[in-house]
Every structure is written in structure tokens, then in C-alpha cells.
A and B are shown apart, each in its own frame.
Chain A
Amino acid sequence: MPERNMTRQGGRSAFTEGVIACGPTILGYWSIGFASGAIGAVSGFSVPEIVLLAAFLYAGSAQFLFYSLWAAGAGPAAVALAVLLVNIRYLLMSSYLARFFSGSSMMQKFASGVLLTDETFGVAAQHAGRYGALPFRWMLGLNVAAYANWIVANVVGAMFAAVIPAGISHGLGFSLTAMFIGLLALNYFGSAQKRLEIVAMVVSAAAVLGTMGFLDVNVSILIATALAATICATALQMQARRGRTA
């Protein structure tokens, strides 16, 4: 099937479909981006610095970390290492999506990966699960919509930091958690393997709770992801083997 027709619905282009697919996450980008920009301004960063960070880091948790470490006087090496640790989860997301780009050019693969976020990964993984493909133009629409909203939300947050109470701007940080709960619920209700989804949730939650007391929470999340993925993949293999022998 030609790529350009793969996601066409009602005459819309794949790019437009990608932009529309970004819709459910826009509110999340705005609330976290707004909080990020506001916290950056409150921490003493100028609007151009906040825009630079939003454009080049393009990751809420890494930006929050950057602001707090830099404001506390940490050196470039410490900040860079912390940002790497927080962002290392993208290795797993990007590796998962790689299989859907086997027919793409090097530039298309790079462009699709460089703007990957937790939210676009969630939306792209759902699309890939449903259609078995990730057309480049669809992914571009998704990424560009998310990126543009993120930058604008950061700028607006930085500019309005002076007029909103600090408690509200800090409280917006919880919207990140709320959005992921929403994405998880969407994934669960759309899944054909609900029992496996429950196993993955329980195993990963137990792994995080069991290791976060003595490990960094980012390392805990990586261990939980690897453990839950291994157990679920093993269960799927066993199920497939039983199906073949029955």
C-alpha cells in the first residue's frame, strides 16, 4: 500500500492526520510547558534562555532538572550527566519504534526520532499497533504539532511567571503524571490483551516501588520497563507456543 494513502481519512493528508492525532496531548504540552517556562523564569532564566532550552532539550523533566541544578550552581558536567540519566528512557522508546521505519530514508528516520517525546511515543505506538505502520508524513505532523505547542507554551509560561502565584505554576507539574495516567487508560481500553496489560502494569509498579528506595527513580523506571517487557514477551511466546501445539 503506498505510504501516502495509508492514513488518509476523508481526504485529509497524512501530515494533517498526524497533527490531529496530537490533539489529545496538546493540553498536557500546554500545562507542562507553561509550568516549565514559569519555573525557568522564577529560577532566574531569561526568556531567550528558556526558549533555547525548550527548543534544544525539548523535554519537560530534563528542563526542570536543568533549571534546578543550574540555579543551584552545578557545573556543566553534572548537569549534562543528570540530563542524560533522565533522558535515557528515550533509548527504549526509539528502539521500539525503529522497526516501523525500515523503509524510510536516513533523513526521515532522523527527523522522526529527533522530536520523539513520551507523549508522541504513546500516540505513535498506538497508531503503529492499530495500523502496523508509521508513515513519515504522519509522524512529522505529530512531531511538528507537539514541538510548536511546547515552544509556545514555554514562552507564554515564562512571560506570565510574574503574574501567576508560584503555588499554581509548581502545581501544574502534576499534569505530567495525570496525562500519563490518561495515556495508560487509553492504551488499556484499546488493547486486545487486557490481562497482559494488567501484568505489565502490576510488574512495573512493583519493580519501581521495590527499587526506588535505594536506586535513582530513573534507573528504577528502566529496570521496571525491562522486567515488565521481558515477562510479557515470555508470556506471549508461551501463549503462541501453546496455540501451535494445541
Chain B
Amino acid sequence: MTGSFLVTVAICAAMTICVRALPIVFLAGVRLPAFAMASSPPPS
């Protein structure tokens, strides 16, 4: 297991975590326009 392999895995993992988790972290509780919320009922 080489250093460049570990660095590449770390970069890929960091990017994957960003696209997976950050929208939930930053958009939860944010009031989105009504248009964007049209497809589902509001959470109870």
C-alpha cells in the first residue's frame, strides 16, 4: 500500500463525504422556496 494510494483514497473519501453529508448539514432547516418543496409534504 503506497503513499500515493493512501493520499488518493483520502482525497476521494473527503470529496465523497462532502457531497453526501454537507447538503444535509447545511440545508436542513433552511427555508427553501415553495417551488422546490412542491413535490413532497412538509415533515411533521
Given contacts A76-B4, A132-B42, contact A57 B12 (CB under 8 A): yes
Given contacts A59-B16, A94-B19, A133-B43, contact A53 B29 (CB under 8 A): no
Residues of chain B from 13 to 44 with CB closer than 8 A to chain A in the complex: 13, 15-17, 19-30, 32, 35-44
Prevailing SS type, chain A contact patch: helix
How close is B2's CB to chain A, nearest CB, in angstroms? 10
Do B40 and A109 touch (CB < 8 A)? no
Do B28 and A104 touch (CB < 8 A)? yes
Q: Could you give, for residues 107-126 of chain A, a 1 whenever the CB lies within 8 Å of some chain B CB and a 0 otherwise?
A: 00110111110000000000
B: interface residue count bin = 35 or more
Do A113 and B9 touch (CB < 8 A)? no
A: interface residue count bin = 35 or more
How close is B6's CB to chain A, nearest CB, in angstroms? 8
Given contacts A53-B9, A110-B21, A114-B17, contact A98 B35 (CB under 8 A): no
Given contacts A53-B9, A66-B12, A132-B43, contact A109 B25 (CB under 8 A): yes
Interface residues of A (CB under 8 A from B): 1, 46, 48-49, 52-53, 56-59, 62, 66, 70, 76, 79-80, 83-84, 87-88, 90-91, 94-95, 97-104, 106, 109-110, 112-116, 128-129, 131-134, 229, 232-233, 236-237, 240
